[in-house]
Structure 1
Amino acid sequence: MSKVFDMELFLAAVLTGSYATRQRHLRQAKLIQAEIAKRWQRETPWTWQRKHLAWYLKHHINQRSEATRYYYVLTARLLARRLETSWVFNI
Structure 2
Amino acid sequence: MSKPFDMELFLAGVLTGSHATQKRHVRQAQIIQTEIADRWALKTPWAWQKKHMVWFLEHRLIGHRDATRYYYLLTVRLLARRLEKPWTFILKAKF
> Normalised by the size of structure 2, how large is the TM-score?
0.94
1:84 equivalenced with 2:87 (yes/no): no
| Offset of residue 4 of structure 1 | 0.5
1:62 equivalenced with 2:50 (yes/no): no
Supply the distance in 2 between the matched residues of 1:20 and 1:3 (Cα, whole angstroms): 26
| Offset of residue 63 of structure 1 | 1.3
Partner of 2:50: 50
| Offset of residue 65 of structure 1 | 0.8
Letter in 2 for 1:19: H
| Offset of residue 3 of structure 1 | 1.4
| Offset of residue 20 of structure 1 | 0.6
Supply the distance in 1 between the matched residues of 2:62 and 2:19 (Cα, whole angstroms): 27
* 5+ residue gaps, structure 2: none
Aligned length: 91
1:12-38 deviation digits (Å, cap 9, x = unpaired):
000000011001000000000000000
Supply the distance in 1 between the matched residues of 2:73 and 2:34 (Cα, whole angstroms): 17
Computed over aligned residues only, the root mean square deviation of the Cα atoms, in angstroms, reads 0.6
| Offset of residue 61 of structure 1 | 0.8
Supply the distance in 2 between the matched residues of 1:63 and 1:55 (Cα, whole angstroms): 14
Partner of 1:22: 22
| Offset of residue 62 of structure 1 | 2.3
Q: Give the percent of matched residue pairs that are identical in Structure 1 and Structure 2.
A: 64
